[in-house]
Structure 1
Amino acid sequence: MADDDSAISRRTLLSGTATVGALAAGGYGLAAATAQSTDRMPPALAGKSVLITGCSSGFGRLSAMHFASLGAHVIATMRNLPRPEAESLAEEAQAGKLKVDIVEIDVLSDDSVTKGVAEAERLTGGPIDILINNAGIGITGPIELQDMAATKLIFDTNVYGYHRLARAVLPGMRAQKSGHIFAISSQLGRVIVPGAGHYSPTKFAVEAMAEQMAYELVPHNIGVTVIQPGGYPTDIWKKRNVYTKALRDRVSEERKAGYPALVARMGNEDGSGRTADPMDIPRAMAEIIEMPVSERPARRAVHPGNKPQLAINEISAKTQVDWLGNTPYGPWIKAVHKA
Structure 2
Amino acid sequence: MTQINRRTLLAGAAATGALAAGAGLAAEDIMTATPDLTGKSVLITGCSTGFGRLASEHFARLGARVFATMRNVPRAESEELTQIALDDQLDLHVIEIDVTSDEQVEAGVARAMEINGGPLDVLINNAGISFGGPIEIQDMEATQLTFDTNVFGPHRMARAVLPAMRKAKSGLIINVSSQLGRVIVPAYGQYSPTKFALEAMSEGMAYELVPHGIEVTVIEPGGYPTMIWKNANENSLALLSRADEKHTSGYSALIEQLGNRTGGGSTDPMDIPRAMAEVIAMPAGTRPLRRAVHPGPKPQIAINDLTAKVQVGWLGESGYGPWIKAVHNV
State whether TM-score is above 0.5: yes
Cα gap change, 1:50 to 1:6, in 2 (>3 Å): closer
Q: Which residue of 2 aligns with 1:183?
A: 175
Cα gap change, 1:9 to 1:292, in 2 (>3 Å): closer
Deviation at 1:212, TM superposition (A): 0.4
Question: Could you tell me which amino acid in structure 2 is paired with residue 265 of structure 1?
Answer: Q
Residue of structure 2 aligned with 1:72, choices 45, 50, 64: 64
Give the secondary structure class of the aligned counterpart of 1:50.
strand
Question: Could you tell me which amino acid in structure 1 is paired with residue 282 of structure 2?
Answer: M
Q: Which residue of 2 aligns with 1:233?
A: 225
Structure 1 runs of 4+ off > 4 angstroms?
38-41
Q: In the comparison of the two structures, how many residue pairs are matched?
A: 309
Q: Kindly provide the CA deviation profile for residues 249-303 of structure 1, in whole angstroms up to 9, marking residues without a partner as x.
A: 11112321100011111122133x6111111111111111221212100000000
Give the secondary structure class of the aligned counterpart of 1:249.
helix
Give the conservation status (yes or no) of the 8 Å contact 2:130–2:146.
yes
User: Are 1:329 and 2:329 matched, yes or no?
Assistant: no
Give the secondary structure class of the aligned counterpart of 1:293.
coil
The normalised TM-score by structure 2 is 0.91
Alignment of 1:80-95 (within 5 A): 80-95=72-87
Counterparts of 2:5 and 2:314, CA distance in 1: 22
Q: Kindly provide the CA deviation profile for residues 157-193 of structure 1, in whole angstroms up to 9, marking residues without a partner as x.
A: 0000000000000011111111100000000000000
Q: Kindly provide the CA deviation profile for residues 24-70 of structure 1, in whole angstroms up to 9, marking residues without a partner as x.
A: xxxxxxxxxxxxxx689421111111000000000001110111011
Deviation at 1:138, TM superposition (A): 0.5
User: Are 1:7 and 2:7 matched, yes or no?
Assistant: yes
Deviation at 1:6, TM superposition (A): 4.1
Cα gap change, 1:243 to 1:104, in 2 (>3 Å): same
Residue of structure 1 aligned with 2:139, choices 143, 147, 165: 147
Alignment of 1:198-213 (within 5 A): 198-213=190-205
Deviation at 1:231, TM superposition (A): 0.2
Counterparts of 2:212 and 2:296, CA distance in 1: 36
Deviation at 1:152, TM superposition (A): 0.3
User: Are 1:288 and 2:240 matched, yes or no?
Assistant: no
- Percent of aligned positions that are identical: 62
Counterparts of 2:62 and 2:224, CA distance in 1: 23
Question: Could you tell me which amino acid in structure 2 is paired with residue 201 of structure 1?
Answer: P
Give the conservation status (yes or no) of the 8 Å contact 2:5–2:285.
no
User: Are 1:308 and 2:299 matched, yes or no?
Assistant: yes
Alignment of 1:116-265 (within 5 A): 116-265=108-257
Give the conservation status (yes or no) of the 8 Å contact 2:125–2:176.
yes
Counterparts of 2:94 and 2:312, CA distance in 1: 41
Counterparts of 1:255 and 1:162, CA distance in 2: 31
Give the conservation status (yes or no) of the 8 Å contact 2:32–2:278.
no
Q: Which residue of 1 aligns with 2:270?
A: 279
Give the secondary structure class of the aligned counterpart of 2:298.
coil
Question: What stretches of structure 2 of length at least 5 have no aligned partner?
Answer: 11-29
User: Are 1:46 and 2:38 matched, yes or no?
Assistant: yes
Give the conservation status (yes or no) of the 8 Å contact 2:31–2:278.
no
